[in-house]
């Protein structure tokens, strides 16, 4: 499947000259001023390609402006390295160059707490597999389905999903389902054992939720998004988000305190 945006023509144009012609002229000249002018013309014409690739990684823990800058820098590098006639055209050469730099930027700068490299790479595979399975089934994939596609165990998938929090650790000011904040659970040394037990129980209950339910909780209580923003992210209405949140929190409370279950 091509990753070239459908809004771009097969041969971009600058004035009356297409990009491949400009690249041929760039390859043929040794004049610094002319090379600079031609490079600028090609980059300006192909910026939509770099920006489109950067947009695919938005919302994964790195600022969108940083992603655009990385993609555009990689575009300039691709222009400098491209040799006309050596492949299938500039776009086919530039796309993997830009995408590779974006992935490298995630590996090098995206982790606040850096998991092992193998786990980082597995997470990237899991994310791609989840997207593919979502398109096929029209729903979030189970850990077993992802594991079968990637070629690992369901536990490996859970570990890879769990390391996503290393991009943006939860805030101590984040509210809990029972009132107060996460920091409140850690602040009282007299209740430390109870807090540890409670956190363990909460994690166990959250693990029983579906991937979409866990995503909604993270968007609401970690990223502190509004219900409208959550609805746009998961593809439901604001009213449905409200009902989903209420249902999830009620199930968590019931799971932690069976006496409250109806």
Please write the tens of the pLDDT for every residue from 105-114: 776 665 555 5
Cα angle 242, 255, 232; round to 5? 25
Please write the tens of the pLDDT for every residue from 129-178: 887 787 677 677 888 888 999 898 988 888 877 765 555 555 555 565 55
Q: Would the pTM of this model clear 0.75, i.e. be above it?
A: no
CATH topology for the 112-169 domain: Arc Repressor Mutant, subunit A (1.10.10)
CATH for 13-109? 1.20.120.1810
CATH topology for the 170-262 domain: Butyryl-CoA Dehydrogenase, subunit A; domain 3 (1.20.140)
From 34, 47, 27, select the one nearest 94 (Cα to Cα). 47
Per-domain residue ranges of the chain: 13-109, 112-169, 170-262
3-state secondary structure of 129: helix
Question: Over the chain, what is the mean pLDDT?
Answer: 75
* pLDDT at residue 8 in the model: 41
């Amino acid at each position: 499947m091509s990753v070239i945006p459908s809004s771009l023509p097969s041969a971009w144009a600058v004035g009356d000259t297409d990009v491949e012609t400009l690249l041929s002229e760039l390859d043929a000249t040794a004049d610094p001023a002319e090379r600079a002018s031609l490079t600028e013309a090609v980059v300006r014409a192909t910026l939509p390609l770099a920006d489109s690739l950067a947009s695919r990684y938005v919302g994964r823990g790195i600022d969108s402006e940083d992603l655009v800058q990385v993609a555009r820098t990689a575009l300039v590098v691709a222009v400098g390295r491209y040799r006309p006639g050596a492949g299938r055209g500039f776009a086919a050469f530039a796309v993997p160059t830009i995408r590779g730099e974006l992935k490298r930027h995630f590996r090098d700068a995206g982790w606040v707490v850096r998991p092992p490299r193998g786990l980082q790479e597995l997470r990237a595979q899991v994310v791609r597999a989840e997207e593919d399975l979502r398109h096929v089934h029209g729903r979030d994939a189970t850990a077993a389905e992802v594991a079968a596609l990637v070629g690992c165990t369901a536990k490996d998938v859970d570990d890879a999903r769990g390391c996503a929090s290393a991009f943006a650790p939860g805030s101590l000011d984040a509210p809990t389902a029972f009132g107060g904040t996460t920091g409140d659970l850690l602040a009282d040394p007299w209740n430390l054992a109870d807090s540890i037990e409670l956190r363990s129980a909460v994690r166990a209950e959250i693990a029983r939720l579906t991937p979409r339910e866990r995503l909604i909780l993270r968007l609401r209580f970690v990223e502190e998004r509004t219900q409208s923003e959550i609805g746009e992210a998961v593809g439901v209405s604001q009213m449905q988000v409200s009902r989903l949140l209420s249902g999830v929190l009620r199930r968590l409370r019931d799971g932690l305190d069976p006496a409250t279950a109806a």
